[in-house]
Amino acid sequence: MNKKKILLVEDDRDLLELMNKNLVDNGFDTVCAETGQQALDFLQSRDLDLVLLDIILPDIDGLTVLSEITKNPKLKNLPVIILSNLDDIGSFEQAAAIGQYEYLVKAKTELKTVVAKIKEKLKLD
């Protein structure tokens, strides 16, 4: 069985490394981006199975990345899980306006829950 490829988009390097290690330990293949532009570049150049996307990024914000995903016919069905510290109704509404996406708040979500949500989205046991 091929490993599922996940794009991790996170500008906090420590958290990115922690999530990357956790996903690799759980059998996933990962690609890491620290900026929105890097994420967009990877989305164009790689075959991915899922995106784990932060909202607050140093250049292009995650909601813009999400919007670009939905506009691209090759990417519009790509599963995306938003993992952000934005915990306000406005952020949830902005993401919901783009599409139906899983929205997890970093401070309230354990890594094992993130892995479980990824497996659920990818229909893995």
In three-state form (DSSP H/G/I as H, E/B as E, the rest C), the secondary structure along 74-121 is CCCCCCEEEEECCCCHHHHHHHHHHCCCEEEEHHHCCHHHHHHHHHHH
The answer to whether residue 4 scores a pLDDT higher than 90 is yes
* Domain-embedded: residue 73: yes
* Domain-embedded: residue 25: yes
Global confidence as pTM: 0.90
pLDDT in tens, 17-32: 999 999 999 999 999 9
* Domain-embedded: residue 125: no
Q: Which helix (H) or strand (E) holds 20?
A: helix 13-25
Q: Kindly indicate the confidence band of residue 84, based on its pLDDT and cuts at 50, 70 and 90.
A: confident
Give dist(CA 103, CA 5) in Å, integer.
Answer: 20
* Domain-embedded: residue 35: yes
Q: Kindly indicate the confidence band of residue 99, based on its pLDDT and cuts at 50, 70 and 90.
A: low
Pick from 66, 14, 15: nearest CA to 39: 66
The CATH number of residue 29's host domain is 3.40.50.2300
pLDDT in tens, 38-75: 999 999 999 999 999 999 999 999 989 999 999 999 99
Q: Into how many domains does the chain fold?
A: 1
- Domain limits at 64? 5-120
